[in-house]
Structure 1
Amino acid sequence: MKRKPLCALLISSLLFCWILALPAQADELTVTAPSVVLMEVSTGQVLFEKESHAVRPCASITKVMTLCLTFEAIQAGKLNLTDTLTASAHAASMGGSDIWLKEGEQMTVDDLIKATVIMSANDAAVVLAENVAGSEEAFVQRMNEKAQALGMADTVFKNCNGLDEEGHVTSAHDVALMSRELLKYPKIQDYTLTWIDYVRGGATQLVNTNKLIRSYNGITGLKTGTTSQAGSCITATAERDGLGLIAVVLGADSTDNRFADARALLDYGFGGWSVTIPEAPALEPVPVAGGMAPTVAVKAGESPKILMKAADSQSVQQEVQMQADIAAPIQKGDVLGQVVYSSSGKTLAQVPITAAEDVEAITFGSAFRYLLGAFFSL
């Protein structure tokens, strides 16, 4: 029997390894949880989903919305990280995961956020809610209003911490939407990426419930949750090379499986997709009819982030399209055209081209002023 040359065997082995390294296709990606979604952060595009709109409880992932409204209040100057808040009897009565706040106990906003994010403390979340809106009931109303504004059509909140309650439901897709909103506040990563911290002057230790922050490359957060009705849940966020992903897993049958599903979703996203930022085109001044200047300088808007399959990321074309018969008067900022980015004939993004200066129309007065200025400059 004739043996294959050594080089042929090496090539075959390398080819086999290359095939194994290819990113999983959607129909090859297996997750155990009943409801998941993978969303890209900058565009909101869904890259993979499984029963993503199934209405389910989500346990402490509810606190993502609580944190959205808390950071919104901080950004508006209505709350400061150094403010000291007092625990009410209602807050102190919370069960489940908590930091055992006593009625009347005081803690800074910073420490309460630590406890809410790292320890998933139900009592700390209620203290924040009461101080943002006056009561937990008023805060929950704001949560539902914010959910509607974000397009979270599958969601109804009944409390601010995620304890099981009849009618308190959401979906994997909606969790991704509110996670995307929370990521708008970079400060949140100071908490979501902390493994161990302390409150009460070091007397109470907080250990992060998200094991991925110690094991997954590029992880940025975000929140776990577990109750008897919700099962094991997570919204896991990560970023590599400008590509941001949100992997939501609801209803996993164990904590190990929720982390495994989240990791599989993120691996699928990073293995198969990339974000391309095309180079801005060089633009020459364009002719102007009837103007005091024969041309006007133009500029293109900020280059877009374009989400593509990794294999297609080098195939983006750009086309400059200018309006015909541009005439004065022109004001700085007027849209005069657009840059169209496409691939394989499909439009991916459009960026406006605007005037970089004013161009006055020719009138008797403007012409006279021009000639007068030219005369005195001699």
Structure 2
Amino acid sequence: MASLFGHLARLFSFWLFAGLASLLASAPGFAAPYAAIVIDARTGEVLYSENAEARLHPASLTKMMTLYIAFEEIQRGNISLDTMVTVSKHAAAQPPSRLGLRAGQKISLRNLIRAAAIKSANDAATAIGEAISGNEADFARRMTRTAKALGMRNTTFKNANGLTAQGHLSSAMDMTILGRHLFYDFPQYYNLFSRRSVDAGLATVNNTNRRFLDAYKGADGIKTGYTVAAGFNLTASAERGGKRLIATVFGGKSTADRNAKMMKLLDLGFGKAPRNAPVNPPAPPSYQGGDEMLVADADLPEVANGAGKTVRVNMQIATSPRPLARPGSAVPTQLAAAETGEVAPAETAQPEKAVAAAEAVDAMQDSIEGALAAALGTEEDGPPPEQTDALDVESIELASAAAAPDPSLTPQARPSTPAVEPTGTSVPQAEIIPFQVVSASGVTVSPRPAKRSAPIYDEVVAPAPSAEAEPEVVISVSTSGDRHWGVNVGRFGSSFEAERALLRTQLVETATLGGSLRKVMPRSGGFEATFMGLTQDQADLACRRLQARAIQCFTMGP
């Protein structure tokens, strides 16, 4: 009986709140301040703005920042989609819109993200903030710091869900900047905003933006918002004919009024945006004083069934010991002199340095391959595409930079005759490798090269042996004529995942992508997976066909 009474009381409170909000919004003379802006997402150029810098109430557009920080934490390995979050009394007490969380309940971060993004659930957003920072006040301060790092000059956050609070303000310009960063910084999660409904664990929830998504061709996100003080807000993104726009409307009088204003705004933007604008993603956030937001492993929330644990790989090489000579082989004069402390002749100093550098790089890369195999397993047993926090890619990149080979090493073709060391001793053919170093005296030495770091799918054709050494030729898809377009299918946490996504996508869409070049490009925060060597028509058609299969993509022009 008590439970039934409590349910009826909450239901009555909800309808009372909704009724008062409706009366206030429709009262004569009441209207939330209006602001609007539309930008070319490819370049960030402002195509139209009205009152875009005014500090106004953002309402549930706030949840875009809550989700952005959640994606940051997943990418850093501080939390995972399968992390179980314990709901606090404060989170459970948030007013509608709500998922219906109860204090003490445990729910996965995956379902909280879905509820916050699709249903715009206030209790879910607050639970996310508390899981990351411990309490909502600390999380709001982090939200504000992140906003400043993204270039959102007029934004201050006080909570994680956007309910009206003193000082909780933003602008149409700032929310558009945030929407652009969500699109480019976390493309692997962006498709969430275009879903009409989703299973959030406790219930299947419907998208608050589904009317606009269904009504406007090319629309695929992002987020709605409403409070009495803010009016009806919307940040939206749409793509047509290779043009990608992001726009924001503050202060709509109703859902229909807001959607109509957004459609006019996007129509205006598509009319003004150039067709072949270069794609220049926004720079990643630069935090003052470095990244101050990482947490210790001991503070991480519990994980369901042991899932989502982070593999941390530290492969920084402090020393580079000289490898032992192969059994039965003679130690070169220069290396023997180094081991015994004797001083090598001047003309042999450079080759010895080259050998040591090449051997160090080779040992480092062997360590990387072993760590990758341990962390990711085989291609068939690799991490699921949705979870991209299995490996600390930054550690690998730093290790590679620290142990870079000597710039004096110049790749050459594989020699067809045995190499001769300074002493005149003939080296067996099995010891010859396709790199040469020429010392000051003109003596040729063949050190061991670093392994290729290019994608494993490149087609390399070695020239036939000849009397004269010829350079190796790398064969790729021709980009002559008008084949300067590409299709980007997302950013991933490792090059392995990016390669796998490219291969799977090409197998799905062989008709348009079968002749393209798969390319993985390292970027801050991940690896972008891109198909290159297409014409504009081929790129547009491929992206439309992929989107029809619910695969997120965007075209890239010259």
**Percent sequence identity over aligned pairs:** 37
The aligned residue for residue 67 of structure 1 is 67
The aligned residue for residue 57 of structure 2 is 57
Query: When the two structures are aligned, how many residues end up with a matched partner?
Result: 265
Per-residue Cα deviation, 1:257-314 (whole angstroms, up to 9, x for no partner)? 111111111111222323426xxxxxxxxxxxxxxxxxxxxxxxxxx4389xxxxxxx
Contact 1:275 1:305 in 2 (8 A): no
The aligned residue for residue 206 of structure 2 is 207
**C-alpha spacing 1:47/1:33, structure 2 compared with 1 (3 Å):** farther
- Structure 1 CA distance for aligned equivalents of residues 468 and 153 of structure 2: 67
Report the aligned-residue RMSD.
2.9
The aligned residue for residue 81 of structure 1 is 81
Per-residue Cα deviation, 1:83-118 (whole angstroms, up to 9, x for no partner)? 221111110111131112110112111111111011
The aligned residue for residue 198 of structure 1 is 199
**C-alpha spacing 1:38/1:150, structure 2 compared with 1 (3 Å):** same
The aligned residue for residue 105 of structure 2 is 105
- Matched residue type, 1:119: K
- Structure 2 CA distance for aligned equivalents of residues 358 and 175 of structure 1: 49
Q: Matches of residues 5-24 of structure 1 in structure 2 within 5 Å?
A: none
Deviation (angstroms), 1:138: 1.3
Contact 1:147 1:155 in 2 (8 A): yes
Please give the TM-score of this superposition, normalised by the length of structure 2.
Answer: 0.44
- Structure 1 CA distance for aligned equivalents of residues 151 and 275 of structure 2: 24
Per-residue Cα deviation, 1:179-214 (whole angstroms, up to 9, x for no partner)? 11111212333321111223336xx23111112222
1:368 to 427, 442, 452: 442
- Structure 2 CA distance for aligned equivalents of residues 214 and 34 of structure 1: 24
Q: Unaligned stretches of 5+ in structure 1?
A: 1-31, 278-303, 308-356, 371-375
Deviation (angstroms), 1:226: 0.3
Contact 1:33 1:258 in 2 (8 A): no
The aligned residue for residue 320 of structure 2 is none
Q: Determine helix, strand or coil for the equivalent of 1:165.
A: coil
- Structure 1 CA distance for aligned equivalents of residues 205 and 94 of structure 2: 18
- Structure 2 CA distance for aligned equivalents of residues 365 and 189 of structure 1: 53
- Structure 2 CA distance for aligned equivalents of residues 306 and 114 of structure 1: 29
The aligned residue for residue 154 of structure 2 is 154
**C-alpha spacing 1:43/1:377, structure 2 compared with 1 (3 Å):** closer
- Structure 1 CA distance for aligned equivalents of residues 96 and 439 of structure 2: 78
Moved over 6 A (4+): none
Q: Determine helix, strand or coil for the equivalent of 1:188.
A: helix
Deviation (angstroms), 1:358: 5.8
- Structure 2 CA distance for aligned equivalents of residues 214 and 57 of structure 1: 27
- Structure 2 CA distance for aligned equivalents of residues 89 and 130 of structure 1: 11
The aligned residue for residue 289 of structure 1 is none
Q: Determine helix, strand or coil for the equivalent of 1:187.
A: helix
The aligned residue for residue 187 of structure 1 is 188
Q: Matches of residues 1-378 of structure 1 in structure 2 within 5 Å?
A: 34-183=34-183, 184-200=185-201, 204-210=203-209, 211-276=211-276, 304-305=278-279, 366=440, 368-369=442-443
Contact 1:33 1:261 in 2 (8 A): no
- Structure 2 CA distance for aligned equivalents of residues 40 and 60 of structure 1: 23
Contact 2:94 2:122 in 1 (8 A): yes
- Matched residue type, 2:205: L
- Structure 1 CA distance for aligned equivalents of residues 61 and 216 of structure 2: 20
Greater helix share, structure number:
2
- Structure 1 CA distance for aligned equivalents of residues 187 and 95 of structure 2: 30
**C-alpha spacing 1:101/1:267, structure 2 compared with 1 (3 Å):** same
- Structure 2 CA distance for aligned equivalents of residues 159 and 377 of structure 1: 71
Determine which structure has greater relative contact order: mean sequence separation of CA pairs < 8 Å that are 6+ residues apart, divided by chain length.
Answer: 1
Per-residue Cα deviation, 1:236-269 (whole angstroms, up to 9, x for no partner)? 0112233221110001111111111111111112
- Structure 1 CA distance for aligned equivalents of residues 62 and 146 of structure 2: 13
- Structure 2 CA distance for aligned equivalents of residues 306 and 84 of structure 1: 37
Q: Unaligned stretches of 5+ in structure 2?
A: 1-31, 282-408, 412-437, 445-466, 470-558
